[in-house]
Amino acid sequence: MRIVQSIWTANQSDLLNNSFGWLAPEYHLMGWALSCLQLKQFYPKVVLYADSPASKMLIDNLELPYDEVICNLDTLNHYDIRLWALSKIKTYSLQESPFLHVDGDVFVWKKFDDNLLKSPLIAQNKDEISSFTEYVQKLEANFSYFPNEIIEDRMLHHNVQTYNAGIYGGSDIAFFKEYTAKAFDFIDKNKLHFKNTDITEFNVIFEQYLFYCMSKSKKKEVSVLFSKTHKTGEYKGFGDFDKIPFEKQFIHLLSDYKKSEAKCNQMAQRLRLDYPEYYYKIISLFRKNKIPMLKEYCFFETEEHSFLNKHIELKNSFVNKKIETFNPKFSLKDKVEIKTLIDNFQLNNLSNSQWKDLILFVEEINLILEKEYSNISMDYLYARDIHLPSFHSILFENKNEIYNKKIAVANSYKFIRSQFNWCSFFEKNAKLDLNLNDPPSSTESENISVMIPECDALGFSINAIDELELTILQIIGTGITLNELFKELKSYFDDEDLKDSSVEFEQLILKKINKGLLNKSIQVIL
């Protein structure tokens, strides 16, 4: 089986300033690196189809270990830049033997099933997205040409179904030759109409909907990685980096996942843990070109060529408990200013109680920064972050041993209580335009936030927690086994309720612990 990937930049040479659908450019490059490197764990030959700028970046600069690079996608540069799926269509068309195309935002932690790879046609899963049906109706009003297979499907008047192209391939090369030829016809015969049409979603139609319609028309069975048909908003779990590799072995950061700061950070953390050499290559590229990144870590007081050595040193020191938690030589972070969080329009729409509560909230943050976080070692925080992705695996990978695993609260976590939940302003990163229409609402009970020191420019993260999460943190203290934690927590619940739902009780607690690992309020004792 030939594993292939493709990337077309539409001759946009500056990949350090273009995010290509991701939250930020650095995540785009980190995504490609992790995707390639994980595929190489399981397949001896991975081939990249690229255009010149992409080849220069991924191969010449990052030195990703592709076995073959075919730099022929510059031939697509006369097409509209918004037709991002065109490179995949072109790549499918060039295959002469069984293949599997894997998107650059797909990450695997095990080999694909051999029976799946033997199939004539392969896709990730079937989709039924309501907006696709509405969009096709708009195309029908504007386009002059549709392939016959789509016309036949539309005559049935049902919702548009597609095959998700996170992975596409198979051994039926004749089908792919005909399918890709029709896809190009679909594009070429309607290009005069593009100026009157939003063609962003057209990619899904000429790639995925056409594939579905043709396979259906020709009565071709499509083997899928996941049997479930996904509908609008039902892609839960496809970005769960915290569950790899013990529960999830396939991640696809499709759609809004690529814009999620949390998911992008988890992906970057995984790359840093497993492939630090490539992580620091990407960081160095941005630094050498003086291009700021979305999340600027403090990193280290060392030269860029020593990043990897410093990484190894800090990683080992954290495990061996030979790293200082506190180091006063680091300067105090800038104070948080309300005006950096909320624009004037939002400020003017706050009630008196909201305004007063926000002032107190921000004052508490700044007090913690000054009194508690100003002397915390950035090296310690960075070493902690290196290990974050491994905490989930250590704790959850062996269900038989989980009860004996020991967890503790993180150093220097702090609680902030407030009338309103202001965490959303920070969770999305204070530098970003939050575009919030309404201020955070109040609940009947007091809002609780947990504040954690960070080694980035902001200097902290803050997340909302509930009373149960607060109780868990208070019980854990400096160290406790999960078995001890479960026993202690049972005293907070009704005995009859526990008798009827003991499994649900444990699942709830484990979910809260997992959340604590993600927001860094809980650590696994190594």
Q: Which domains does the chain have, with CATH numbers?
A: 2-242 (3.90.550), 315-524 (3.90.930.50)
Q: What is the 3-state secondary structure (H, E, C) of 189-208?
A: CCHHHHHHCCCCCHHHHHHH
**Most confident region among 445-449, 458-462, 513-517 by mean pLDDT:** 513-517
Q: What is the 3-state secondary structure (H, E, C) of 418-463?
A: EEECCCHHHHCCCCCCCCCCCCCCEEEEEEEEEEEECCECCCEEEE
Beta-bridge partner residues of 417: 448
Whether the bond between 245 and the residue before it is cis, its omega within 30 degrees of 0, is: yes
> Rounded to two decimals, what is the model's pTM?
0.91
Kindly indicate the confidence band of residue 437, based on its pLDDT and cuts at 50, 70 and 90.
very low
Please say if the pLDDT value at position 48 is more than 80.
yes
DSSP line for 311-371: HHHHHHHHHTT-S-SB-TTSPPPPPP-HHHHS-HHHHHT--HHHHHHHHHHHHHHHHHIII
Please say if the pLDDT value at position 290 is more than 80.
yes
Kindly indicate the confidence band of residue 284, based on its pLDDT and cuts at 50, 70 and 90.
very high
List b or e across 301-336, with b for residues whose CB sees 16 or more CB atoms inside 10 angstroms.
eeeeeebeebbebbbeebeeeebeeeeeebeebeeb
User: Range with the lowest mean pLDDT among 209-223, 276-290, 440-454?
Assistant: 440-454
pLDDT tens profile 340-381: 777 776 778 888 998 999 999 999 999 999 888 888 888 899
Please say if the pLDDT value at position 82 is more than 50.
yes
Please say if the pLDDT value at position 442 is more than 80.
no
User: Residue 105 contacts by C-beta under 8 Å, 6 or more apart in sequence?
Assistant: 31, 35, 166, 252, 253, 254, 257, 258
Structure confidence at residue 455 (pLDDT):
87
Structure confidence at residue 435 (pLDDT):
41
492/104 Cα distance (integer angstroms) = 47
Q: Could you tell me where the DSSP H helices lie in 143-275?
A: 148-155, 173-188, 202-204, 210-217, 261-274
Please say if the pLDDT value at position 391 is more than 50.
yes
Beta-bridge partner residues of 83: none
Kindly indicate the confidence band of residue 66, based on its pLDDT and cuts at 50, 70 and 90.
very high
What does pLDDT average to over the chain? Answer: 90
pLDDT tens profile 302-348: 777 789 999 999 999 998 888 888 876 555 567 888 877 777 767 78
CB 154 within 8 A of CB 193: no
Kindly indicate the confidence band of residue 494, based on its pLDDT and cuts at 50, 70 and 90.
confident
Structure confidence at residue 250 (pLDDT):
97
